[in-house]
Structure 1
């Protein structure tokens, strides 16, 4: 993997992670979040930074390697798909935690799941089984969609 690909890819992923963290931190520490009704299968708070750190690492590394190996047309298409995915990823935190739009965040999580599955498909088309770590991303996003939707349903007024 070339550093000229990994550095900008990792930077884009890090900016996404930072944006999500900025949106999330005040709300997670607030009375609003503490009083939300949550389903019994919600993981403990510590699970989220561990899961997302691992997933963001997978996104950066697998995407950089995919970009290195892809022919130019596929590379351009992958960059567009990755950019859209990262925008969707960061948007969820802003919708849920900052804007407190539970329904919209549930829909956004579903769109992010589809985008993550598409990104994984694109990486697998270039790298085959070497793209497998990225497959955890749409699985986690699907779980997040179910969790977001359930929180929305439990807290509708």
Structure 2
């Protein structure tokens, strides 16, 4: 990256990352996500459930990486590929921000599972499109995909371990 392009990248990347971190934090705060949520703390958790502090560190890191990846693509030469990549990115971000209210706020475990599966698909498509524009941008989303694998397994196991805890049971867990 040229020096002028590097400077312009960081001028955009840092605010982009901060905005995405703030949006993620706001979604979690407004939906009372985590162990401070009485409904959630009363649920049985799978044996592989990380301690609460891990989620804050992981999501702050992942949202920062998302912002850095977004900046690469935003600053790329305008094209149909770029436009589609940005649309996918915005779609995945909206779905991401919706998951905490669905799961923690409205206690919808089944809908949360379906939401996180859609989220994984959107992030995978975003990463693929991003990589076609700037390979590093695509790679910056890989940890997010890995974390979503864990989050999907946690969501599934919480549903399985807590029949009857879902406010809108779709029967995904036989409950």
TM above 0.5, yes or no, is: yes
Distance 1:18 1:57, change over 3 A: same
Tell me: higher relative CO, structure 1 or 2? Use CA pairs within 8 A at least 6 residues apart. 1
CA contact (8 A) 1:16 1:86 kept: no
Report the aligned-residue RMSD. 2.1
Gaps of 5+ in 2: 1-5, 165-175
Which has a greater percent of helix?
1
The alignment covers a number of residue pairs equal to 157
> Given that residues 13 and 60 in structure 1 are in contact (C-alpha distance below 8 angstroms), is that contact kept between their aligned partners in structure 2?
yes
- Answer yes or no: is the 8 Å Cα contact 1:27–1:98 preserved in 2: no
Q: Which moved more, 1:125-134 or 1:44-53?
A: 125-134
* CA radius of gyration, larger in: 2
2:107 corresponds to = 100
Match for residue 123 of structure 1?
130
Could you tell me which runs of 5 or more consecutive residues in structure 1 were left unpaired when the two chains were aligned.
none
TM-score normalised to structure 2 length: 0.80
Aligned 1:1-157 pairs, distance under 5 A: 1=6, 2=8, 5-6=12-13, 9-10=16-17, 12-25=19-32, 28-129=35-136, 131-157=138-164
Q: CA deviation at 1:107?
A: 0.9
Could you state the TM-score of these two structures normalised by the residue count of structure 1? 0.88
